[in-house]
Amino acid sequence: MLLKVGDLARRTALTVRTLHHYDEIGLLKPSGRSEAGYRLYSQADVQRLHGIQTMRQMGLALADIDALLAGTGLAPERIIAQQIRSLDQQIMQATELRGRLTMLRDGLMAGAEPDMGNWLEALALMTTYGKYFSSAELKNIFQSWHLIEADWLIVKDLVRGAMDRQLAPDTPEVQALAYRWMALMLHWMKGDMDLLERWGHMFRTEPSTQGRNHAPPGEMIEYIETAIKQRMALLEKYLTRDDLRMLGHVPHTDWAAVEADVQQLLACDIPPHHPDAVAAALRWNTLFDTLTCHNTALRQKLLMASASEPLLQAGSPLSAPVRAYLDMALAQAMPTTPAMSGTHAAPAPKPARSRR
């Protein structure tokens, strides 16, 4: 079956002029001519035209297409594969664009009618974020923000207070804040160490992200990172990257509740074997199981790190007297459970300098 040029143009949604041009430059010459001199196109010609249009959609110039098609034999599966790759790329680009537009609508602009400044700031931030994260990753990060928002704002204010008082990074108070900062960051990123490191790297290298949307300013990032590095240097002697990824999250309010309850028991001279003391110790043990995801090996590593490193103990959310008391009470309830004094060393990622 042979098609005249008009028929081929109509069935392919091309113009006769385009097909004439392809013939003139040697890109698509018809296989024959009618007695009246009309161009006639065979199945092989149509197959070649399909390949030409596929590569045109990929953005290739006609001269480049001619060179690519020369001597290839144009296997049908190769042409179709080229088109699939082109469509896949277009779908990926469209999906990425849709994701970023959705975040502009639902995330950065939430709750307010954007003015010119809002648009410019949002677009600038999305351009910066896009250097480090896909739209899907950013969507997950922003959607998880609610997990830590309330605690984060408290911790940030406490770090600012420590800075104003010029506390050294290795003081117990700052180390405790470093612990809370790291725990929140790891919880926010759902244990994804790669994501967390890229987030921290972005804030270290992109000043425009600092101090926006509750993000800490540069001087706060530098201050807390010094304390974090001190803890990391010690933790990395005992825990692997996979260990850090495995750690669960315990809200600071849960540790604080145990601290307050045990302080009350101590103030009332309640002995460690008393049922109230044992109940507090079992609560503590449950929190520690949550922190280590009931992994015995991970639990032992944290115990070893804390027992060996005073600086890690300094950052514990529980005070030394409370830990000692709970150890004794736990021994009454669970004699075979290792003592946990000073354990809550830190669910610590690489220094995460940032916030949203």
What pLDDT digit, counting tens, does each position of 47-97 carry?
888 878 877 766 677 887 887 777 554 455 666 676 677 667 666 656 655
The pLDDT-based confidence of 17 (bands split at 50, 70, 90) is very high
Cβ contacts of 231-235, under 8 Å, gap ≥ 24: 231/175, 231/178, 231/179, 231/182, 231/311, 231/312, 231/315, 231/345, 231/346, 231/348, 232/348, 232/350, 232/351, 234/305, 234/309, 234/311, 234/312, 234/345, 235/305, 235/312, 235/345, 235/346, 235/348
Task: Show Cβ contacts of residue 202 under 8 Å, excluding neighbours closer than 6 positions.
Answer: 128, 129, 131, 132, 133, 209, 354
29 phi and psi, to 5 degrees? -95, 135
pLDDT at 58: 65
Tell me which residue of 301, 307, 298 sits closest to 327, measured CA to CA. Answer: 307
Q: Does 192 or 255 have the greater pLDDT score?
A: 255
Q: Look at residue 59 in the predicted model and tell me its pLDDT.
A: 65
Percentage above 70 pLDDT, the chain: 77
Q: Which residue has the higher pLDDT, 346 or 38?
A: 38
Give the bridge partners for 3, in sequence order: 41
What topology does CATH give the domain 1-106? Multidrug-efflux Transporter Regulator; Chain: A; Domain 2 (1.10.1660)
Specify the higher pLDDT residue, 115 or 171: 171
Q: With a cut of 90, say whether residue 192 has pLDDT above it.
A: no
Compute the average pLDDT of residues 13-42.
Answer: 90
Q: φ, ψ for residue 218 (rounded to 5)?
A: -60, -40
What is the spatial distance between Cα 67 and Cα 352, in angstroms, rounded to a whole number?
51
How much of the chain exceeds pLDDT 90, in percent?
A: 27
* pLDDT number for residue 350: 39
- CA separation for the pair 256, 274 (Å, rounded): 21
Query: Which residues are bridge partners to 133 per DSSP?
Result: none
CA 109, 184, 236, 292 dihedral sign is negative
What's the rounded mean pLDDT across residues 295-301? 92
Whether the per-residue pLDDT at 334 is higher than 90: the answer is no
Q: State whether residue 13 is helix, strand or coil.
A: coil
